[in-house]
Copies of this chain bind each other. A is one copy, B any other.
């Protein structure tokens, strides 16, 4: 509708060269007070809005960071988006969120799209720990890359995560202490690095107790709440069902709770539950859920720190950091003593 107002338009109206107008608007170089005011006045009058794209062309920075994430509806990730945003926006960065539905092709496409849009930084929670050449490529391109939550092995790239194996081991110890010997594990895809680590902790905890692990106690499913529901139904339908279960994330937890409700399994009487991730409503439901809480604020802080240091500092930082944070077990009422058989 309205034609775009450029620096040249303002310069013309103010009777100066566009170089001078640009000096005023950009606040650099020498400009006489008289012309400065003339330009500023015209810019205001004509409703000048700087053209960030054109600026990016010149100095090669877009002041934009991309966030490639499996599912923005997962409160864990929307919390990250919120918190990281709050930490980078004071530095004038805007965030582009690319949702992949936990699908590798979409993730690859997302990274490619964001790189082509010249983001200054890229935060990725990769959906695969096998296929990560696109991530390496992004890193090699000179873009600041930080991995979060899910960190494939042997990838020398800045990353932030929690000690997943230890988190599960602690949860398992809690269950063992309550007398549980048949503990189930409900998780989505093992392509996801954090799930691998969580399962590893699960296995190791069994080994430490010198207990043999029935493979049927491990249920791997899709990533939605509905998948979690189906996995839970299948777990709970077994004749040899577990007396306690650990869910690998909050979607699995919701799925499990829905299934337990439908199948009339009371928690913790019929089955104990520990959930990875901590949500507001976990303390609202009956029983309140025992959870493995991640340090959400800290994770965001570390991601922002690692990202900003590469985006803002001109020298290349050779050394990468793999930040591993501790979780905490919040014991509520969803875990109880195992009934003696």
Contact = CB atoms under 8 A, between A and B. Distances in A.
Given A118-B52, A140-B1, A97 B99 contact: no
Given A52-B117, A96-B95, A286-B286, A73 B75 contact: yes
A312 interface: no
Nearest to A279: B281
A15 interface: no
Nearest to A50: B116
A263 to B, nearest CB: 14
A271 to B, nearest CB: 15
A103 to B, nearest CB: 12
A97 B95 CA distance: 6
B75 A82 contact: no
Contact of A284 (B1, B47, B113, B261): B261
A51 B62 CA distance: 12
A293 interface: no
Contact of A78 (B73, B95, B98): B73
A212 to B, nearest CB: 34
A129 interface: no
A261 B285 CA distance: 10
Interface residues of A, number: 52
Contacts of A113: 52, 94
Contacts of A166: none
B73 A141 contact: no
A72 B62 contact: no
Contacts of A316: 1
A71 interface: yes
A2 B316 CA distance: 12
A258 B50 CA distance: 47
Contacts of A257: 281, 284
Contact of A281 (B52, B72, B79, B281): B281
A264 interface: no
Contact of A82 (B71, B115, B225): B71
A112 interface: yes
Interface of A: 1-2, 47, 49-54, 56-57, 62, 64, 71-73, 75, 78-79, 81-82, 85-86, 94-99, 112-118, 137, 140-142, 225, 254, 257-258, 261, 280-281, 283-286, 316
CB-based closest 6 A-B pairs: A286-B286, A285-B285, A52-B116, A1-B142, A52-B117, A78-B78
